[in-house]
Chains A and B, each alone.
Chain A
Amino acid sequence: AQTVTQSQPEMSVQEAETVTLSCTYDTSESDYYLFWYKQPPSRQMILVIRQEAYKQQNATENRFSVNFQKAAKSFSLKISDSQLGDAAMYFCAYLANSGYALNFGKGTSLLVTP
């Protein structure tokens, strides 16, 4: 079974600064997908960024980028120029290419201070 580990229950960043959220995973698959989801207080699940395992290039979406290290099974999220609206729970998730269900980590609560 695949496991997703987020070792930081809480993180704090000052507005306009950069923060990195960690995620590691365990799998025996060679082809899979990784995602970061944001869950604000409204509890809506918002897809932030995705990465296909076969792609060596790290995914980027505006202020959000990932550092995907396949050999190390690491998938960290970097948020640049943090904004107050970035405050939320962030979940790392894994999806096997052959699977259907997302496997979520325990989440990291991000606090953004003015």
Chain B
Amino acid sequence: GAVVSQHPSRVICKSGTSVKIECRSLDFQATTMFWYRQFPKQSLMLMATSNEGSKATYEQGVEKDKFLINHASLTLSTLTVTSAHPEDSSFYICSARGGGLDNQPQHFGDGTRLSIL
């Protein structure tokens, strides 16, 4: 089945650091990728939707200058958390949508646990 690889799985860094998370579709072309944030014991909250070659569409309340999304190819999207602070600590999950693959609307990565000290 379709595989989405998300890297890194775990990041611990100091406040003020910028962190880049990669999301790759390994065996299909992802026309659309999604980035979610999940706080402990809460649901997945959509942060932004990105389409290959165009600017990401951010959800209300998500700072686009804080969370930079690049979707430069059909197999790779990146999320960069700029100047991260402790309140940015969370679980970030990407998912990818490709045309005509089984019955799944999106294929999820395994997530990245981000801890800002």
Residues of A within 8 A of B (CB): 33, 35, 42-45, 47, 50, 91, 95, 100-107, 109
Contacts and interface: CB of A to CB of B under 8 A. Distances in A.
B42 A106 contact: yes
Given A43-B91, A45-B108, A100-B97, A91 B103 contact: no
Nearest to B110: A44
B111 A106 contact: no
A92 B80 CA distance: 29
Nearest to B104: A47
Nearest to B38: A43
Contacts, number: 44
A43 B44 CA distance: 11
A35 B107 CA distance: 13
A110 to B, nearest CB: 13
Interface in B85-104: 91, 93, 95, 97, 103-104
Contacts of A45: 44, 93, 95, 108
A45 B110 CA distance: 7
Contacts of B108: 44-45
Contact of A43 (B43, B95, B103, B111): B111
